[in-house]
Amino acid sequence: MVDALGGITDLVNNAGMGRNKPLHAYTDKEWDVIVGVNLTGTFHCMRAAIPTLLEAGGGSIVNNASLNALRPLPGEAPYSAAKAGVVNLTMTAAVEYAPRLRVNCVSPGLIETPLTAMVTSNPAWRDAAERGTPLRRVGSADEVAAVIAFLCSDAAAYITGQNVVIDGGAGLPSLQADSLLRTIMDSMSGQSSTEP
């Protein structure tokens, strides 16, 4: 497969999935799937690519973590724990494989993708998220991709073991997540109170 691709110079691990409910309500299977996709999958891809990258003389790895790795949200324990593991896995690999490989990760906040459409397509929820973000908007996938491309490029030749947060400042004390969650919870409790 490596020959078919013409070799490998960079690896980007970009997979994620999650659910939202209290920690004690997650089943073993749900935990295994969420941690498997978010952390174990990253490990498997790194383990497969690293020998090829080393044999080729070096390269770059960028893992996709999440703002949740640093500022976890209620209801997302397996996802947040797995993404925190991705950050540490990144730093560990950066130490192990330097100077031949550079290993970094990105931690996006709320980014407009099909996975976040439930939030971004709801005007009240989107407004709450944007009000809680210093840059006053939801990020785009292109903005995350641009940071990843930079980390893979020679312009980032002296950067390794770093976690670059891409969140429009939402992780600062502007409390985007709290504002958004309050709006979501208020709207959901209003719905449930009208149900028979």
105 and 64 in contact (C-beta within 8 Å)?
A: yes
Asked if 97 is an active-site residue, the reply is no
Active-site residue (options: 26, 79, 97, 158): 79
Catalytic residues: 79
